[in-house]
Amino acid sequence: AQKVTQAQTEISVVEKEDVTLDCVYETRDTTYYLFWYKQPPSGELVFLIRRNSFDEQNEISGRYSWNFQKSTSSFNFTITASQVVDSAVYFCALSESGSSNTGKLIFGQGTTLQVKP
């Protein structure tokens, strides 16, 4: 069965600190996709990144970076020099792919990030 675990329920940092959100997943699929979504206080889930299981290169987008390690089944998300606007709930998610692709996402429980000024 597929499962996504975000062990950190809440994280609080002071602005400009770096912060890493952990995500560990379980799947028997050899082909799968991993996602991160952000849910700001307004409530809408906003897509941040998609990574397929064959691409283990780390990715950087501005202050955001993602570390995918297949060996440890982890897909961690780091925010560098955090800002108050980064305060949100962040969800990691897993999707099937290939012949078993249904498109549905299995979400972790989310990590609430609070960035204090």
Partner 1 sequence: DARVTQTPRHKVTEMGQEVTMRCQPILGHNTVFWYRQTMMQGLELLAYFRNRAPLDDSGMPKDRFSAEMPDATLATLKIQPSEPRDSAVYFCASARVTGAAGELFFGEGSRLTVL
Site string for partner 1, 79-98 (x = CB under 8 A): ------------x---xxxx
CA dist 77 and 64 (Å) reads 7
Q: How far is the CB of 90 from partner 1 (least distance, A)?
A: 12
* Strand partners for 35: 50, 93
Residues 6+ apart with CB under 8 A from 108: 4, 5, 6, 23, 91, 92, 93
Query: Contact at 8 Å (CB) between 86 and 16?
Result: no
C-alpha torsion 101→33→5→2, nearest 10 = 30
Interface with partner 1 (CB under 8 A), residue total 27
From 7, 14, 20, 47, residue interacting with partner 1 (rule: CB under 8 A): 47
Options 20-28, 30-38, 57-65, 80-88: segment touching partner 1 (CB under 8 A) = 30-38
Options 13-21, 62-70, 77-85, 100-108: segment touching partner 1 (CB under 8 A) = 100-108
* Residues forming the site for partner 1 (CB under 8 A): 32-33, 35, 37, 42-47, 50, 52, 91, 95-98, 101-110
